[in-house]
Structure 1
């Protein structure tokens, strides 16, 4: 069986989360090639089996191999290798090292030179403790690559960034999804670092941007699985007594929380039902305008997860846009309540959203995507396209109407009706709406409804902050309906 075939089978096993089957297949394939994508797949498998030394070794080799190749998808593999190093260091309780690697992953995604000496690892005080804070990590968006005109508008209007400044330091790099993944992961790392004692070894930086090439004989040594480290342990290798089902043995659907929600014109209130939540330990992070991450969460189906386990966190992908700075949360003995401030007041959400187990960054599951690995060859497969920006709610609100045909969904106006007579004025408006951008459609809906059908604007900047007045035709007087 060829190395390519073995690697394909190994990457398929990673995709199917069959970690134990993946490793021997990738071991055989890697005897003939040091393909970064194969090394990253094996690193992920070793990490999931808690063979952390082996996972670090493979991530380091993947980074070195990618830098030596220096072409094609080399940058993507370097980004993924630094991210994988960060995850493994976090599992080992080396939180400062984990943040450094996550930052290097972000810088590479921003298009910065691969061999740049950026001094990330030098952010330490006189005691050698890492000084980067959670608040600094959340604010670290200056170099974020722009993946759409929507992102540019959001950052200018919501984050208060000047357009010229924003565009001078950020551009489209093709690695926007990888940047968001590393940024979201950093928040988890720094949030944990904030909780550990000042004398914890995890506050020390011992990592370098360019790892030393591991010795070859390490490949022959099969690492022994190690249990997860607990936050606050001074000994990273201290065994953890596990009672009941191990992390990863309970299906995600059984782990998800029971959710209820209601909404007003300004807010959406989401109730997440969980027992015995410790408010002092809870981390609730509102990301950009469409995502909330919460950890650690007690699970009714599996109460044995530890703070570092994937099951201890959840990412809530929201059904609409919010203003993070105006949103808030609270805790009672039986639930967590999120009060989400709508970015578009008056726009009805068709659903509150969905829960994903673990930390999910902008459409990614937080791991190197196995589907990209599955078709790898010794020369390395092409990278998958970057994730798309968060989608707008797919179901538009149905506004009250006295029409016998019921409420109208303005998003679907004109669907399936192209056969109408082109001389019909309704045909013109349907085609106009159908060919408009999302912002133009939003402006058309708002202006038409607020003006009682007497005005139609496609300029969202003009109508978004004002009520569109009713302007009746000449010779006609507008009167309020009186019952």
Structure 2
């Protein structure tokens, strides 16, 4: 199979969010060429799998590869590389660095010179803390490609920002990239303003042009095994893949999703090709042990290996005898019966690789582990009826989503890889980050103008009716029954 085929399939796997499958395909493709598009795709896959160092390295290498090629797609790839750096730094809680990279992504999308000394990373106080605020980020749109000309009313300028109407600044072809970086900054700066003053996330440790990563050393191929001589036994072949214990625990952990009702906590653990007949699941009052689990990052693991076992420390106590589990080709589902119904868990829990000894001598698995009985091989579906909320007010979160249960309490905690090009997404982000007074102004102006104007200035709109201002070439007419 050619490098191009590997690369095409790897990019396709990233588009389908099959991160584990994408990385080996892109690894093979990149053995032949440092194509920026392949590097950026692999950076995204590594980021989703929490391999942040690898993701950052790929994003930085993609920036240099695009700059050196100087092709028609180079600027767009450099814009994407800066954006990807920003997302990774956000994950690493380096929020000031994340905002700098997001701003550089915007400047490139505006058509600004690549080598321009814009001074973004110099905006610090005497203590070296970043001084750009959330309000600065929201107001920073004068360079947006296609924005209305200076002097346009505040309400129409915001609408122009949402609809990319070009009435002043020339379009560059990167309008959607600019909007994505602009919207992402609201999340970065929103996190930054909530940090304590001594948090390292306030410091700038990044440069506009990233240091070029060194090429990875080529692996020396193992010597060909010698043929067995007469009278000597042939040695077994070496196992394929890295040796046990060589993969960090953080890379072995499973991606998890959950939702809860008054009675249960449903947890989805995303792991492929689990053999239901071989899987052992043991429920304790505050943890679950599971083995053997195939690992995408370490496919060599076997039953009995430490890496094949996970211990899930739970966010609350459960009734082991009433908890259940099931297996599908892509995940393991746990339905945990709360020991105290109506109590809301802050989180489902956390995963540790291997077995974790219990500090409570009374913490024993159920006398007949549910994982080992045939009648419990199939758990009820996630849409099973749940009782209504109790007086405690604990919410119930049923779902019919094809993508599985969601933790709706964390819906706002996005990681920047949703599609922010949608106008509704932008409006939600703008509204969520506004002050109560700004939100009041937005609602009043939007409703009174029939959706044609949007203002964040309450002083401007509180004592007047906001008139309907249709786009150029459109005539506003009153609706008649």
TM (norm. structure 2) is 0.51
What's 1:212 paired with? 211
Is 1:442 the counterpart of 2:438? The answer is no
Shift in Å, 1:71: 2.3
Aligned equivalents of 2:247 and 2:169: distance in 1? 42
What's 1:195 paired with? 194
What's 1:174 paired with? 173
* Inter-CA distance 242–195: structure 2 relative to 1 (3 Å threshold): farther
* Inter-CA distance 128–219: structure 2 relative to 1 (3 Å threshold): farther
Shift in Å, 1:13: 0.6
* Inter-CA distance 196–346: structure 2 relative to 1 (3 Å threshold): closer
Is 1:129 the counterpart of 2:129? The answer is yes
What's 1:91 paired with? 91
Aligned equivalents of 2:197 and 2:218: distance in 1? 36
DSSP-derived class of the 1:106 partner = helix
Shift in Å, 1:105: 0.1
* Inter-CA distance 342–126: structure 2 relative to 1 (3 Å threshold): closer
Aligned equivalents of 1:84 and 1:320: distance in 2? 19
What's 1:18 paired with? 18
- 1:42-441 matches, cutoff 5 A: 42-146=42-146, 152=148, 156-159=152-155, 170-217=169-216, 224=248, 225=250, 243=315, 244=348, 301-302=406-407, 310=415, 318=424, 340-343=443-446, 345=448, 347=450, 440-441=473-474
Shift in Å, 1:131: 0.9
After superposition, give the CA deviation of every residue in 1:348-380 in whole Å (9 maximum; x if it has no partner).
99xxxxxxxxxxxxxxxxxxxxxxxxxxxxxxx
After superposition, give the CA deviation of every residue in 1:30-58 in whole Å (9 maximum; x if it has no partner).
11111111100000000000000000000
Asked if the contact 1:83/1:102 (under 8 Å) is kept, the reply is yes
* Inter-CA distance 46–321: structure 2 relative to 1 (3 Å threshold): closer
Asked if the contact 2:150/2:168 (under 8 Å) is kept, the reply is no
After superposition, give the CA deviation of every residue in 1:195-244 in whole Å (9 maximum; x if it has no partner).
0110101111000011111122378799744699xxxxxxxxxxx98753
Aligned equivalents of 1:6 and 1:79: distance in 2? 24
Aligned equivalents of 1:80 and 1:8: distance in 2? 18
DSSP-derived class of the 2:475 partner = helix
Asked if the contact 2:149/2:167 (under 8 Å) is kept, the reply is no
Asked if the contact 1:142/1:169 (under 8 Å) is kept, the reply is no
Higher relative contact order (CA 8 A, sep 6+): 1
Asked if the contact 1:91/1:308 (under 8 Å) is kept, the reply is no
* Inter-CA distance 175–17: structure 2 relative to 1 (3 Å threshold): same
Structure 1 unaligned runs (5+)?
229-239, 248-253, 255-274, 278-298, 331-335, 350-436, 453-483
DSSP-derived class of the 1:340 partner = helix
Aligned equivalents of 1:120 and 1:246: distance in 2? 38
* Inter-CA distance 219–94: structure 2 relative to 1 (3 Å threshold): farther
Measured on the aligned residues, the alpha-carbon RMSD in Å equals: 4.8
Aligned equivalents of 1:168 and 1:441: distance in 2? 15
* Inter-CA distance 60–348: structure 2 relative to 1 (3 Å threshold): closer
Shift in Å, 1:314: 11
Aligned equivalents of 2:176 and 2:14: distance in 1? 21
* Inter-CA distance 127–339: structure 2 relative to 1 (3 Å threshold): closer
Structure 2 unaligned runs (5+)?
220-241, 255-311, 316-347, 352-381, 383-392, 396-403, 453-469
Asked if the contact 2:57/2:213 (under 8 Å) is kept, the reply is yes
Asked if the contact 2:62/2:81 (under 8 Å) is kept, the reply is yes
Aligned equivalents of 1:129 and 1:158: distance in 2? 31
Shift in Å, 1:128: 1.0
* Inter-CA distance 142–56: structure 2 relative to 1 (3 Å threshold): same
Asked if the contact 2:313/2:349 (under 8 Å) is kept, the reply is no
Aligned equivalents of 1:133 and 1:144: distance in 2? 19
How many pairs align? 292
TM (norm. structure 1) is 0.51
* Inter-CA distance 320–125: structure 2 relative to 1 (3 Å threshold): closer
